[in-house]
Amino acid sequence: MKTLRSTDVVIIGGGWTGLLMAKELGSRTALSVVVLERGGPRKTQDYAADMDELDYFVRLHMMQDPSRETVTLRHSPSERALPIRQFGAFLPGSGIGGTGEHWGAVYPRLLPDCFELYSKTVGKYGVKKLPEGHSMQDWGITYDELEPYYARSERELGVSGKAGNLKGKKIEGGNIFEGWRSSEYPMPPVKTPYFSDLFGKATKSLGYHPFSNPVAINSEHYTNPDGMSRAACAFCGYCERLGCMIGAKAQPTNTFLPVIQKQKSVSIRTGTSVRRIVKDTAEAYGKARGVTYIDVSGEEIFQPADLVILASWTLGNNHLLLLSGIGNPYNPATGKGILGKNLTHQVSFPAAQSFLEKPLNRFMGAGGIGMRIADLEGDVLDQSNLPFIRGGIFQGHSVGYQPIAIFGSVPRSVKSRWGAEWKKASIEYYDRTGTVSFSGEQIPYKGNYIDLDPTYKDHAGDPLLRLTINWRENERKMVEYMTAKGVEIARAMGAKEINPFPGYGDYDVTRYQSTHLQGGTIMAPSPERGVVNTFLQHWQVPNLFILGASTFPNTGSANPTPTILALTYRTADAIVDRYLKNPAPLA
Amino acid sequence: MRRRQFLVLSAASIGGVLVYSLDRRASRLFAQEKSSQSLKIPLRFFTEAEALIVAAAASRIFPSDDSGPGAKEAGVVIYIDRQLAGPYGRDRYRYTQGPFVEDAPREFGYQGKATPREVYREGLKDLKGFDRLSPEEQDKQLRQIESSHFFALLRQNTIEGMFCDPMHGGNADMVGWQLIGFPGPRMSNYADVDKHYGEAFRPKPVSLQQVVGRKVRPSEDEDLK
């Protein structure tokens, strides 16, 4: 193994969090920073030639290559896990920018009570209301503490939307149920395509409060505080699962990367597969000394570093800690240990597939744009008389639809799935089908967790990560209740026929949910209950910080990226302002 | 080395196709030239007998009829032949380490060992002579294999071949896109996205090559020298 010259900081992962940390350390300190990214380099100019549904939307060419590295999954600890041979329910990224390159760019904050899920729920409904087998706990940080960091991330990425709660003042047309905001969004909402407009009008007629999805997609030309200037969105429809060829969708490569490339103290090494974080003792705790990785040529390298930042998405973060023997793996049988605990996946499903009278022109759109309602979300929804806790948001998306993915959706009155009758109906409904979709919270359970698989191996011969996860009564009841609400909305939109969602059975690896796996290296105000403190610093290895949604003790119904970036800013401040002066535990 | 196989199609059966041969030589056939002329298309994976069966089966899944052109005009069989010859066919991007649990519950996705190439080769053995049956007999035979993994692939690949960018060998002359009013990769819909509410807005389809102004290398050609 070759040993390189020591660096001050090594960052594992070149996605949203890794590059944000690199940019902050590069611009605010004199530290030498090395970013290690397993995938290849990327740039905006490459993306025009990628406007191909087959290779990118269907064959998933921007995603992690499962032939090299995947995970196994099972529904309960008594089952044998099977490998996810092709990604479906979630789509992990790889390469510079990570999933941040091909995301949908929805940019909602978490509801304030998501950070205090346990105490707020018990306070409002009592302990008896808590679902069986839950492992809910508070984060140890509040929305109020995080608000300035949310605002900072919105200015940096450029977010389009309309505030519904400016310093406590409710504003019609925005999300009046959101947590307070210190400032308006940097840009006005994006344009509203027809289907989303129908959704907005229908939900309003039902007494809900629709608003335009906040998105990190430019509604107009935008220049961020770093001076990065980007064009307005053209609604080409080749968006999620792809990078943006004009840079209108905020991505790490068009926001953070150009700043980093001017910083001499930061270097990025692509094609580097990190295998271990190396400690100074054989014990589970101690100090990190650096990392080992395999480079493009296959050579094994040791990169010593004083500070290690783990920024490898939920799967990579858990995998590297488990492989490196850092921390105490969670054991669901005894309840002991913490690493791997509280694996969650945001509830997400098409509540009502709606077959409408008029054509929708739905090839036009972008990422996560559309209208949504938050009237049934979190503590906004009174759960006293409901058979579940928590809730979520409904949306009428206009993502820009591609034909291979959506052709063939027909009302249930059409029985065939191939042949003349099916073909005719599929053509008729091709541009008349819209989906009222729902995203909600999955609460954490003692039985949903992450460890290493005893059977299956990755390209380097290391064990695959094993996910043990399933839906439970709380999610199934929520899905049932929300499906009925979604059907009401579809009716109000004038749907001729509606295919309601059939419900949640067992966790299905083939149906796309969202790329929002969370937990495993959760934060907590004490080392007994979390892997990291609220500054995302490892409780027992103080020179190791862990960034990303793996640190969330529970999901929100909101997509995680805004909270991930807000927390990363807070950690960057804590490292620059406190840790570098005194490299010790921050909490 | 396999003996080179060709699929012979009548010129009238394909819309207006730019067909790349195995040696990257293009043979162009225009829709206007509907004649008795026939076109010899070099196959990359299928034997001629297999290609005829796949073409016939794809035509029952997506028939050419009163509601518009189908798998035949789009050249679906050419698309599938190229996919199977390329990285998709050999499972380049699937996790293929064992052990394999073939009877796993549906929620775990396809857990089998066989690659798409093997699934087709095996599945086609049961359809010997299929292309010479009547449409009714063909439908009957397809209904018998409807729940197989082979049929699921065939159906999915047929839809792909109908609506993929023409550079992949299917959707010839963008007949699939014209059928449903999909315009392909347009660079901007800025002026139109919040207009045309409730009315069909159907810009003329364009292919990726037309949009970027140069040839783009599709993934199935990765293995070609």
Both tokens of B104, joined, read 């796993």
Is the residue at B4 inside a domain?
A: no
Task: Report pLDDT for A203.
Answer: 98
pLDDT tops 60 at residue B145:
yes
CA of A300 vs chain B CAs: smallest distance (Å): 24
Structure tokens at B42: 């070099």
B residues 179-198 lying closer than 8 A (beta carbon) to A:
179-183, 185-190, 192-194, 196-198
Residue A517 confidence (pLDDT) above 50: yes
Please report, for residues A22, B53, B135, the alpha-carbon distance to residue B132 in angstroms, rounded to integers and kept in the order given.
65, 9, 9
pLDDT value, residue B33 = 46
Which two structure tokens, joined as six digits, stand for A440?
Answer: 């909600």
Whole-model pTM: value is 0.95
Q: Is the per-residue pLDDT at A327 higher than 80?
A: yes
Q: What percent of chain A has pLDDT over 70?
A: 100
Nearest Cα neighbor of A309 from A533, A585, A35 is A35
Note the pLDDT of residue B109: 97
Bridge partner residues of A15 (DSSP): none
What rounded mean pLDDT belongs to chain A? 97
Buried b (16+ CB within 10 A) or exposed e, B43-82: bbbbbeebbbbbbbbbbbbbbbeebbbbbbbbbbbbbbbb
Task: Give how far A361 is from chain B: nearest CA, Å.
Answer: 6
CB A38 within 8 A of CB A65: no
Q: Which residues of B touch A88 (CB under 8 A)?
A: 109
Compute the nearest-CA separation of B16 from chain A (Å): 21
Residues in chain B, total? 225
Residue from A46, A50, A55 whose CB has the most chain B CBs within 10 Å, to mutate:
A55
Indicate whether B225 pLDDT > 80: no
**Residues of chain B found within 8 Å of residue A235, distances taken between Cβ atoms:** 188-190, 193
DSSP secondary structure code for residue A550 in this structure: G
B135 touches chain A (CB under 8 A): no
What residues of chain A lie within 8 A of the CB of B188, using their CB? 234-236
| Residue B201 three-state SS | coil
- Per-residue model confidence as pLDDT tens digits over A166-175: 999 999 999 9
CB–CB contact A236 B97 (8 Å):
no
The percentage of chain A sitting over the pLDDT mark of 90, rounded to a whole number, equals 97
Separation between Cα atoms, residue A492 and residue A497, nearest integer Å: 12
Residues of A in contact with B187 (CB under 8 A): 48, 234, 236, 245
Q: Is the pLDDT of residue B24 over 60?
A: no
Is residue A494 predicted with pLDDT exceeding 80? yes
Instruction: For residue A50, count CB atoms less than 10 angstroms from its CB and return exposed for 0-12, middle for 13-18, buried for 19 or more.
Output: buried
**Measured distance CA(B47)–CA(A457) in Å, rounded:** 36
Query: Which tens digit of pLDDT belongs to each residue from B106-138?
Result: 999 999 999 999 999 999 999 999 999 999 999
Exposure on the CB side of residue A422, measured as CA atoms within 13 A: 16
pLDDT at B30 over 80: no
Instruction: Report the alpha-carbon distance of residue A419 to residue B141 in Å, rounded.
Output: 13
Instruction: Identify the sign of the CA torsion B52, B53, B58, B64.
Output: positive
pLDDT band at B21 (very low <50, low <70, confident <90, very high): very low
Are A561 and A313 spatial neighbours (Cβ–Cβ below 8 Å)? no
Q: How many whole angstroms separate alpha carbon A291 and alpha carbon A275? A: 7
Count how many domains chain B has.
Answer: 1
| A186-234 pLDDT, tens digit each | 999 999 999 999 999 999 999 999 999 999 999 999 999 999 999 999 9
pLDDT at position A473, please? 97
pLDDT, tens digit (0-9, with 9 covering 90-100), for A25-37: 999 999 999 999 9
Chain A residues with CB-CB distance to B190 below 8 A: 232-235
Look at B94 and A365 and tell me if their CB atoms are within 8 Å.
no
Cβ atoms of residues A287 and A280 within 8 Å:
yes
What are the helix and strand counts (H, E) for chain B? Answer: 8, 4
Interchain contact A53–B (C-beta under 8 A): yes
The partner residues of A439 in beta bridges, in order of sequence, read A348, A393
3-state secondary structure A40-101: CCCCHHHHHHHCCHHHHHHCCCCECCCCCCCEEEECCCCCCCEECCCCCCCCCECCCCHHHH
Mean pLDDT value of segment A180-185: 98
User: Does any domain span residue B211?
Assistant: yes
Considering only CB atoms, B185 lies closest to which of A86, A238, A456, namely A238
Q: Is A416 on the interface with B (CB under 8 A)?
A: no
Say if residues B51 and B124 touch (Cβ distance below 8 Å).
no
Using pLDDT thresholds of 50, 70 and 90, give the confidence band for residue A4.
very high
* Catalytic residue check, A209: no
Residue B11's pLDDT band (cuts 50, 70, 90): low
**Residue B29 banded pLDDT, cuts 50, 70, 90:** very low
pLDDT at B7: 82
Tens digits of per-residue pLDDT, A536-582?
999 999 999 999 999 999 999 999 999 999 999 999 999 999 999 99
In this prediction, residues A325-334 reach a mean pLDDT of 96
Distances in whole angstroms, Cα of residue A566 to Cα of each of A20, A194, A518, A554, A570: 10, 33, 16, 16, 6
To the nearest whole Å, the CA of A51 is away from the closest chain B CA by: 6
A4 token code pair: 């390189």
User: Tens of pLDDT along A395-421?
Assistant: 999 999 999 999 999 999 999 999 999
Give me the amino acid identity at B133.
L
Contact across the interface for A361 and B201, Cβ inside 8 Å: yes
- Is residue A375 within 8 A of residue A395, CB to CB? The reply is no
* A238 close to B (CB below 8 A): yes
Residue for token pair 């302002």: A577
pLDDT digits (tens, 9 = 90+) for A124-154: 999 999 999 999 999 999 999 999 999 999 9
pLDDT for B39 equals: 73
Write out pLDDT tens, residues A462-479. 999 999 999 999 999 999
Domain spanning A2-579: which superfamily? FAD/NAD(P)-binding domain (3.50.50.60)
Among A83, A236, A418, select the one facing B155 at the smallest CB separation.
A418
- ipTM attached to this prediction: 0.96
Residues in chain A: 587
What phi-psi label fits residue A54: left (phi over 0), alpha (psi between -120 and 50 degrees) or beta?
alpha
Q: What is the reported pLDDT for A44?
A: 87
Answer yes or no: do B189 and A65 touch at CB < 8 A. no
Residues 6 or more apart in contact with residue A6 via CB below 8 angstroms: A290, A304, A305, A306
DSSP letter assigned to residue A128: G
Is the pLDDT assigned to residue B207 strictly greater than 60?
yes
Identify residue A46 by its one-letter amino acid code: D
Residue A326 scores a pLDDT above 60: yes
Q: Which candidate, B159, B165, B191, places its Cα nearest to that of A51?
A: B165
B200:A233 CB<8 A: no
The domain segmentation of chain A, as residue ranges, is 2-579
B158/chain A closest Cα distance in angstroms: 10
> Residue A299 is encoded by which pair of tokens?
């050579």
A138 touching B, CB under 8 A?
no
pLDDT tens digits for range B44-81: 999 999 999 999 999 999 999 999 999 999 999 999 99
Confidence of residue B1 (pLDDT cuts 50, 70, 90): low
Give the largest CA-CA distance in chain A.
73
Question: Is residue B27, in this structure, part of any structural domain at all?
Answer: no
| pLDDT confidence of residue B37 | 64
Give the closest of B62, B164, B200 to A423, CB-based.
B62
Q: Mean pLDDT, to the nearest integer, of A497-508?
A: 97
Identify the pLDDT of residue B78.
94
